[in-house]
Amino acid sequence: MSWEPVIGLEIHVQLKTKTKMFCRCPVGFGAGENTQTCPVCLGFPGALPVTNRVAVEWTILLGLALDCTIAERAVFARKNYFYPDLPKGYQISQYDLPLCKDGKMLVPTADGDRVIGIVRAHLEEDAAKTVHVGGSTGRIGGAAWSLVDYNRGGTPLVEIVTAPDLHSPEEAKRFLQLLRQTIVELGISDAEMEKGTLRVDANVSVRPAGSDELRTRTEIKNMNSFTFIARGIEAEVERQIAVWEAGEEVRQETYDFDAATGRLTPRRAKEEADDYRYFPEPDLVPVEPDRRLVERLRAELPELPAARIRRIEGELGLERAIVLVTGGLDRLWQETVEAGADALAAANVVANNLVRAGVDPELVSPKELAKLVGARERIPRVAFDEAIARLGEPGFSADPYLAREAVSDVAALDPLVDAILAAHPEQVAAYRGGKEGLLGFFVGQVMRETDGTANPRVVSDLLREKLAG
Amino acid sequence: MPISRDDVLHVARLARLALTEDEVERLTHELADIVEAVGIVAELDLEGVPPTSHPRGLVNVMDDDEPRPPLPLEDVLANAPDHEGNLFRVPAWRQ
């Protein structure tokens, strides 16, 4: 029997407002522990929360980008649980009346757009950061005590919940890349997994291909990169298929994914089911977004990544278009093409050379980049690489690099090529025996001997000719 | 609505309260009385009446996103039973 994965995601995004969700303590990394706290975010008795207007507007903006219905009336609710990272004994979240619901995001694929449902996007406050110390094993269970830093506590957090519409680990990864890029472009969050400003949990089940039943799902947590998310889901899908095929039942459990081993570890089962006893937060009044504000935000929405992928894929092909757009590189590519560069060549240079050199695309002059793209086969490789690496420097000019000519003189290269071939008789024999991929090896040898000044195209033509002979 | 002994123990566990046998007994009756008193609302015809989430009619009370000075660290930690450096120290717990 063949199986189909059914995947839903729960995404938490930390907003980059200047202040916290319900108090005006500054938000930011790197401040001394507990120095960005006040009676509200420390949960001191009698302290009263006040909603951050910008956090509400940004959540509406994100909701609009995800094609959600923006609530006429949204209500904050207390989610009660007892935990030191939550000093009040509850988290202020939203429950039955979230700010945004019933949206969708399109994921462009070779077979048309996949429509991924967005169940809701609501606003809540982040928990504090805890450090576990002591204990013999160094694990949480063996810790003697916990140390708590409330700086992060109370930071605005948007929770986005998708419908179980994703059907492969790869699709989940693509959806997340697109969602992340959308969030970054809206300017509401850094959305960096390494920093924890973007966090993803996955709900996974499998079903016989072609059926529309929903079987028991499990939850995977602690995946801190898109690649690990895809791998974690993959591992869980395989595990569940094996369970069903062995005639057993999948149990509802939560797993941690260990990226180092690729293993899923079940969390110790809770003594009882979650009982959050949600109720409306009496310290906050409802939010009823002004329709003029909603329409103004809708009008301000930029062209979104999925639409841009569709717009440029005709020129570049879908895969290249996705790489450029989800990498935040398509605007530079577009402007470089407008400055006269060949579309495909510019796409390759931007997506490969520029990214490898770690250059910030925002700092690059498209005009200078276009010059380099045009000259990349004529000038020495070293000159090209050096120019790419310096593209982000203020006032960078490509002109001095364009003046440097690669050695294209066959007469000058000929003896060097002969010497290289003579020094590697085994590789020559292998090449002639059919391993033509070795051409790159020989080109590399010549480039090294010439300190990167030879014209690679002339070198490979010369090599091909001699190796054929 | 009758309140059972198990209801009381469940709520106590959620709130991390250790109750004596006498307290469990007393609270079972007290909680039942409270729930019964509040239950009068259920006798009203509330068809079409939206749930109240706040007693005042106010909406959209919000603040601009402008930082204000946080609490000085000595005040932050002043009432903490235990701390280590700038960090609050609490008994071990797990998720």
Residue pLDDT, tens place only, A426-445: 999 999 988 888 998 998 88
Q: What is the mean pLDDT of residues A321-338?
A: 96
Residue A149 to residue B87, Cβ atoms within 8 A: yes
d(CA A172, CA A319): 16
Q: Are residues A176 and A56 in the same domain?
A: yes
Residue A347 phi, psi (nearest 5) = -60, -45
Q: Which residue of A has its CA nearest to B60?
A: A287
Would you say residue A360 has pLDDT above 90? yes
Q: Kind and range of the H or E element at A186?
A: helix A169-186
Higher pLDDT residue, A404 or A182?
A182
pLDDT for the residue numbered A30: 81
Q: Are residues A125 and A44 in the same domain?
A: yes
Length of chain A: 469
- Provide the shortest C-alpha distance from residue B22 to chain A (in Å): 24
A29 close to A234: Cβ distance less than 8 angstroms: no
Question: Is residue A318, in this structure, part of any structural domain at all?
Answer: no
Residue B58 to residue A146, Cβ atoms within 8 A: no
pLDDT for the residue numbered A336: 97
Higher pLDDT residue, A176 or A140?
A176
- DSSP 8-state secondary structure symbol assigned to residue A249: -
Q: Are residues A78 and A179 in the same domain?
A: yes
- Does any CB of chain A come closer than 8 Å to the CB of residue B78? no
Tokens of A324: 């450029």
Q: What is the mean pLDDT of residues B31-43?
A: 91
pLDDT for the residue numbered A358: 92
pLDDT for the residue numbered A314: 92
Q: What is the mean pLDDT of residues A104-112?
A: 93
Cβ-Cβ contacts under 8 Å, A84 against chain B: 88, 90, 93
d(CA A457, CA A9): 48
A176 close to A60: Cβ distance less than 8 angstroms: no
Tokens of B20: 């004596």
Tokens of A145: 């005590």
**Can you give the residue range of the structural domain that contains A345?**
329-402
pLDDT for the residue numbered B63: 97
Q: Are residues A398 and A424 in the same domain?
A: no
Question: Is residue A256, in this structure, part of any structural domain at all?
Answer: yes
Higher pLDDT residue, A334 or A84?
A334
Domain boundary among A360, A385, A402: A402
B87-91, strands of its sheet edge to edge: A129-133, A145-149, B87-91, B83-84
* B14 vs A73, A82, A135: nearest CB: A82
Q: What is the mean pLDDT of residues B21-47?
A: 92
- Does any CB of chain A come closer than 8 Å to the CB of residue B53? yes
Q: In A38-139, where does DSSP find H-type helix?
A: 53-65
- What value does the mean pLDDT of chain A take? 92
Would you say residue A135 has pLDDT above 70? no
Q: Which residue, chain included where needed, has tokens 């407002």? A: A17
Would you say residue B95 has pLDDT above 50? no
d(CA A67, CA A70): 9
Question: Structural domains in chain B?
Answer: 1-46 (1.10.20.60)
d(CA A262, CA A260): 6
Domain boundary among A375, A402, A429: A402
Q: B38-49, pLDDT tens digit by residue?
A: 989 888 998 998
Q: What is the mean pLDDT of residues A305-322?
A: 95
Q: What is the mean pLDDT of residues A398-414?
A: 83
Banded model confidence at residue A145, pLDDT cuts 50, 70, 90: confident
Banded model confidence at residue A81, pLDDT cuts 50, 70, 90: confident
Q: What is the mean pLDDT of residues A226-231?
A: 93
Cβ-Cβ contacts under 8 Å, B84 against chain A: 147
Q: Are residues A231 and A359 in the same domain?
A: no
Banded model confidence at residue A350, pLDDT cuts 50, 70, 90: very high
What's the domain count of chain A? Answer: 3
Question: Is residue A447, in this structure, part of any structural domain at all?
Answer: yes
Would you say residue B1 has pLDDT above 70? no
- ipTM of this complex > 0.85? yes
Q: What is the mean pLDDT of residues A231-259?
A: 93
d(CA A117, CA A115): 6
Cβ-Cβ contacts under 8 Å, A139 against chain B: none
Q: What is the mean pLDDT of residues A342-358?
A: 94
Residue A53 to residue B59, Cβ atoms within 8 A: no
Interface test with B, best of A59, A188, A221, A285 (most B CBs within 10 A): A285
**pLDDT above 70: percentage of residues in chain A:** 96
Pick the most confident of A180-189, A272-281, B44-53: A180-189
d(CA A201, CA A62): 19
Q: Are residues A342 and A395 in the same domain?
A: yes
Q: What is the mean pLDDT of residues A345-373?
A: 94
Q: Are residues A391 and A432 in the same domain?
A: no
Q: What is the mean pLDDT of residues A32-43?
A: 96
Window from A26-40, A55-69, A261-275, B72-86 with minimum mean pLDDT: A261-275
Q: What is the mean pLDDT of residues B70-92?
A: 93
pLDDT for the residue numbered B55: 79
Q: Are residues A241 and A341 in the same domain?
A: no
Which among A100, A93, A125, A149 is positioned nearest to A21, based on CA atoms? A125
Q: Are residues A270 and A367 in the same domain?
A: no
Q: What is the mean pLDDT of residues B69-77?
A: 96
Q: Are residues A339 and A436 in the same domain?
A: no
Domain boundary among A402, A427, A447: A402
Question: Is residue A219, in this structure, part of any structural domain at all?
Answer: yes
Tokens of A294: 């909603």
Would you say residue A25 has pLDDT above 70? yes
Q: Are residues A103 and A141 in the same domain?
A: yes
Which among A87, A120, A91 is positioned nearest to A104, based on CA atoms? A120
**pLDDT above 90: percentage of residues in chain B:** 67
d(CA A173, CA A179): 10
Window from A301-310, A314-323, B37-46 with minimum mean pLDDT: B37-46
Which residues lie below 8 Å from residue A126, measured CB to CB, with a gap of 6+? A12, A14, A21, A152, A153, A154, A155, A156, A157
Q: Are residues A389 and A424 in the same domain?
A: no
pLDDT for the residue numbered A270: 58
Cβ-Cβ contacts under 8 Å, B9 against chain A: none
